[in-house]
Copies of this chain bind each other. A is one copy, B any other.
């Protein structure tokens, strides 16, 4: 069972959870109120988010407050930023590079 950040943010519900608790730490029931699905379903999503390090839980009495560990998102943005030179107005340069490397290609009719 994979449990990494890429997998965690693939699910739209989990991205919504992150949006929800990005600016204020909420307990589990407060999160669940914002969704149509059952509380245990949200609990399971939170489990996935904590297991990959994207969310941390602070116990306060019987409540558990969830907050986002934004540093973890860095793993994703760093993977993407490898390629960032290709979309910062340098798409033409990429086209040139690619076509220069396809020397055996027939010209279009």
Contact = CB atoms under 8 A, between A and B. Distances in A.
Interface string A45-85: 00000000000000011000101101101101101111110
Given A6-B10, A105-B60, A87 B74 contact: yes
A70 B98 contact: no
A82 B6 CA distance: 17
A41 to B, nearest CB: 17
A101 interface: yes
A2 interface: yes
A69 B57 CA distance: 37
Given A2-B12, A6-B15, A60-B105, A81 B77 contact: yes
